[in-house]
Chains A and B, each alone.
Chain A
Amino acid sequence: GQNIDQPTEMTATEGAIVQINCTYQTSGFNGLFWYQQHAGEAPTFLSYNVLDGLEEKGRFSSFLSRSKGYSYLLLKELQMKDSASYLCAGMDSNYQLIWGAGTKLIIKP
């Protein structure tokens, strides 16, 4: 079956770094997406990886290892506004997204 696993909840301190992991099993693979969702709001696109390696976008970076079925989202210099849920989604061979349940990130001062 197809499956996306990510931690349910994580806590980090303002100004610190946090890594949110995601493992995936999909029928075929056409890339992996990360979205951010603040409570009561729409998910917003953060990153897309299809090749192995690290992609950096400002304070956020996303990493992919296709051989390990593994990705992570790295958030640096955490700010209170980064408190949100982070959704990992793998795209299968039919270009359909398989979504994880999301990781709720709590930032403490």
Chain B
Amino acid sequence: DVKVTQSSRYLVKRTGEKVFLECVQDMDHENMFWYRQDPGLGLRLIYFSYDVKMKEKGDIPEGYSVSREKKERFSLILESASTNQTSMYLCASRIPGDSHTQPQHFGDGTRLSIL
């Protein structure tokens, strides 16, 4: 079974802090994703990466950056946390496959509160 591990289940930070969310997968997947999940909204893609050192902006990248130094690890960085970044953050990974239609495998999420 694929295992996607997010470093924290719950995190409380203060406005203006730099926040790091870590994600590690153990199945040698090339593709990794960061989403946020808010009540009443679908998952929204923040950033994704198709390989080491590569990163692409998703639908809502503003206020975030990412790092992919190793294949198994994809980090999400909140440069200067704000209260509107309070959310559930989900990391996912996926084998690319022939047509990118392989399912994504998710971590359990990090519930981040910015005070």
Contact = CB atoms under 8 A, between A and B. Distances in A.
B100 A101 contact: no
Interface string A73-109: 0000000000000010101000111111110000000
B106 A42 contact: yes
Interface string A8-39: 10000000000000000000001101000000
Contacts of A99: 42-44
Given A31-B101, A48-B103, A91-B101, A42 B4 contact: yes
A40 B58 CA distance: 24
B41 A45 contact: no
Q: At the interface, is chain A mostly helix, strand, loop or mixed?
A: loop
A89 to B, nearest CB: 8
B99 interface: yes
Interface string B70-105: 000000000000000000001000000001110111
Contacts of A8: 40
B101 A50 contact: yes
Contacts of B52: none
A44 B101 contact: no
A45 B42 contact: no
Contacts of B106: 42-44
A48 B109 contact: no
Contacts of A44: 106
Contacts of B41: 101
A25 B41 CA distance: 16
Contacts of A41: 108-109
Interface of A: 4, 8, 30-31, 33, 40-45, 48, 50, 87, 89, 91, 95-102
